[in-house]
Amino acid sequence: MASSEFRLQMQGYGLTTANILYRLPDHPRILQTYVWQDYDLHPHFPELRKFLDFWTRSLDGPLHGVTIAHAHLIKPAEMRLVNGEFHVH
Q: Which sequence spans correspond to the domains of the chain?
A: 4-75
Exposed/middle/buried for residue 40 (C-beta within 10 Å: 0-12, 13-18, 19+): buried
Interval 49-60: pLDDT, tens: 999 999 999 999
- For the beta sheet containing 14-23, the strands, ordered from the edge strand earlier in sequence to the opposite edge, are 31-40, 14-23, 63-71
E strands, the chain, in order: 14-23, 31-40, 63-71
Model confidence at 75: pLDDT above 80: no
Name the residue among 14, 48, 15, 46 with its Cα closest to residue 34: 48
- pTM comes to 0.78
Band of the pLDDT at 31, cuts 50, 70, 90?
A: very high
Q: What pLDDT sits at residue 81?
A: 63
- Provide the percentage of residues in the chain whose pLDDT is more than 90: 65
pLDDT, the chain, mean: 88
